[in-house]
Amino acid sequence: MLPTFTRRSFRPFYMPGIFDDDFFPVLSKKTNSIPSVNIRENDKDYLLDLAVPGIDKKDLKIDINEDVLTISSETKSESEESKNGYSRKEFSYSEFCRSFYVPDNVDTEKIEANYKDGVLTVALPKQAEEKSKITRKIEIL
């Protein structure tokens, strides 16, 4: 049996995916992307690896406020060309912001960052653990 099409549901030139926002991401409102991150831990520190290819080191910003580490970037570019009776002007804008809670055992004064081959690595060194506190029972008088 053939499917029945009503006037509302029949779209003769419809191709799934062609006019969806994800097919033409440049034309959609979803132009900002959030970089992928890997979080690793070793004996000495925690390591955050952010994939930020194509972003200059000077455009990256890292801040720490109390127990929140924030990594962000904002880039703008414009170009204009005029010749042979025509003009062309193009511009682009992109930004991202990622925030992470910092564990209590991180020495925030010694946080370091390195940028190489499109990967930003942030090292959050662990503080030396405090000696265990003495426990004792206190009598109630």
Q: What's the mean pLDDT in 110-125?
A: 93
Q: Where are the domains of the chain?
A: 37-125
With tokens 């206190």, the residue in question is 138
pLDDT (0 to 100) of residue 130: 56
Q: Which residues contact 78 (CB under 8 A, 6 or more apart)?
A: 89, 90, 91
Q: Which CATH number fits domain 37-125: 3.30.2320.50, 2.60.40.790, 3.30.1490.20, 3.40.140.10?
A: 2.60.40.790
Over residues 11-50, the pLDDT tens digits come to 444 445 544 445 444 444 444 578 899 999 999 999 999 9
Instruction: Of 104, 129, 126, 124, give the one whose Cα is nearest residue 39.
Output: 124
pLDDT (0 to 100) of residue 10: 47
In the structure encoding, which two tokens stand for residue 58, read together? 């000077």
User: pTM score > 0.95 for this model?
Assistant: no
Over residues 56-109, the pLDDT tens digits come to 899 999 999 888 999 999 888 888 888 888 888 888 888 999 999 999 899 888
